Chain A
Amino acid sequence: MTQHGVERLARFDGNERLLHWANAVLFGVLMVTAAALYLDPLAALIGRRATVRQIHVIAGLALPVPILAALVGPWRAALRRDWAELARWDAGDRRWLRSGGRAYGDGPPGPSDHARHVLRFRAHGKFHPGQKLNAAATLGFIGVLLGTGAIMRWFGPFPLAWRTGATFVHDWTAIVAVVVVAGHIRMALADRPAMSSMIRGWVPADWARQHRPKWFETETGRPAAEANPPHDSSS
């Protein structure tokens, strides 16, 4: 697919992008209402605790809706393929995990800023292990926050200590989730073509060739390696 001289590779279909942004909006509403409930100065400023709490609960209960709709509808094919891809970790991914996220790729960082940047975000398959970790963590956050939130809201049938326990887990998980979401946004801003593909659906083929060589080869049938090393884009 070539247009205006840029060869494009489809990365996310409409269903996947819709799921991502529906989830993002719900997370946004949940974080803003959570802040209004949790942070004293904001709580004093905004007040209306009962209303804010209700919005928070409704947004929380809505979390599984986009996921289930995107996974079971007739539009599910691409998402299910990527879902399986995100769940599986090859040897390179596992090496990245063991190194604490410092190492991926096959050699020392290149000489230029651009080469270092490419290496930092590089992975063989369609997704970087950091993205796989983020996807799994997001799913885990949703499950944990939904379960603990439900116990906090409807504590009646449970032992009283569970209410305290659920609050404890909900608070700490939410704090970690905020950090992870902030990290996700930071990484996206640092890798613009990848981020844009969550809006327009495609990446430049050249990005895929440098950042996702194996995926590039599967998609295009052409070798990703080229005679010259990655050039510095600033030169």
Chain B
Amino acid sequence: MPTPAASSDGAPIGRRVVLAMLGLGALGIVTGSKVQRGLEWALAPILARDGSGLAGLLPVSRFRIYSVTGQTPLRDATTYRLVVDGMVDSTLELNLADLRALPPTRLVRDFQCVTGWRVPDVPWVGVTVGDLIDRAGVQPGAVGVRFYSYDGLYTESLTMEQARRRDVLVAYDMENRAVPPIHGGPVRLYVAPMYGYKSLKWLERIEVTSQTPPVGYWANRGYDQDAWVGRSNGRRDEAT
């Protein structure tokens, strides 16, 4: 940067501002994940009491939408149907009222994304996958469960053992309200102990399979099929 004599009689504050910003930015890249956690802890009481919705705009404890399709798939809650089929005694077809009439399971667990963001203490209500497939009657020899989204693209799958965990839900409430369409409503999967990409949105079909089901959408693209939080994808996040 040339400094003609006419303007050399001042402090180079402009340069200091730029360098300070770059330095802070670099520091933030290295320490940001820790700072973020501290900030979330510090702001949690404020965020919980925020009635304006403005706090939702801040990049703290917020969900990010990573849908793989062009538009948010919309399905009317009144016409919604969930199908449970495959290696079961009888195919089930449930509407939202049927689902809500089944014994509910309530979980308050963190939602951890494999890209690093985490939303702490999200309340979920739904029916465990285990309860649902048991109602349909799992036939002997079934080893896996496959989940289909009505976005037409996304699928997920779990082993029978994983699917039967008590913290794997077909969720219809999230954060004390019906799951909004953008978060996968009216009904989505919530696989509490695994990274978010296992928690398929816009669930329309659960298939019990006789063979190990094909891996899910992101596992197909290089992410781990067994996506335990803190024990997969090369990450060491705290378990949810």
Contact = CB atoms under 8 A, between A and B. Distances in A.
A65 B233 CA distance: 36
Interface string A71-86: 0000000001101111
A141 interface: yes
Given A165-B31, A169-B28, A44 B182 contact: yes
A171 to B, nearest CB: 3
Nearest to B25: A144
A169 B30 CA distance: 10
B41 to A, nearest CB: 14
B235 to A, nearest CB: 6
Given A84-B4, A168-B32, A93 B10 contact: yes
B14 to A, nearest CB: 4
B32 A143 contact: no
B12 interface: yes
B29 A166 contact: yes
B10 A89 contact: yes
A231 interface: no
B234 interface: yes
A54 interface: no
Interface stretch (B69-77, B136-144, B204-212): B69-77
Contacts, number: 153
Contact of B14 (A41, A89, A91, A165): A89
Contact of A168 (B3, B14, B28): B28
Nearest to B29: A165
Interface residues of A, number: 52
A41 B182 CA distance: 8
A163 B237 CA distance: 13
A39 interface: yes
Nearest to B67: A49
A220 B15 CA distance: 30
Nearest to B39: A168
Contact of B7 (A38, A84, A172): A84
B3 A163 contact: no
A89 B29 contact: no
Contacts of B101: none
Interface in B193-240: 234-235
A219 B116 CA distance: 55
A47 B70 contact: yes
Given A48-B70, A80-B2, A144-B21, A87 B116 contact: no
A166 B32 contact: yes
A139 B28 CA distance: 18
A213 B97 CA distance: 75
B36 interface: yes
5 nearest A-B pairs in the assembled complex, by CB-CB distance: A165-B32, A140-B21, A164-B116, A171-B59, A88-B10
Given A80-B1, A84-B2, A164-B32, 13 more contacts: A44-B182, A87-B15, A88-B9, A88-B14, A139-B18, A148-B29, A161-B34, A162-B29, A162-B30, A165-B28, A165-B31, A168-B28, A172-B59
Interface of B: 1-4, 6-15, 17-18, 20-22, 24-26, 28-36, 56-59, 63-72, 115-117, 181-182, 234-235
